[in-house]
Amino acid sequence: MQRIQVGMIHARKIVTVTADDDTFQLDVDGQTVATVPHTSGRGIHRYKAYPTQQPRRPR
């Protein structure tokens, strides 16, 4: 499994991920923000995207 983080600066923006044979390219608002090497030899079977998590406040 490989996780890619784009950072809080891109929170609430749509990120387009292009998967090539050996890299992932991440685009935000038409600009490439990261090119990440594909570290696993296995193919992509599924993906998940999560919103940022706010820390829980103590009661």
DSSP per-residue codes, 1-46: -------GGGTTS-EEEEE-SSEEEEEETTEEEEEEE---SSPP--
Q: What are phi and psi of 9, to 5 degrees?
A: -60, -25
Residue 42 has pLDDT above 80, yes or no: no
Higher pLDDT among residues 30 and 7, named by residue: 30
pLDDT band at residue 33 using 50, 70 and 90 as cut-offs: very high
pLDDT the model gives residue 52:
66
Nearest to residue 44, comparing CAs of 15, 16, 23, 13?
A: 23
pLDDT by residue (tens digit) across 13-32? 888 889 888 899 999 988 99
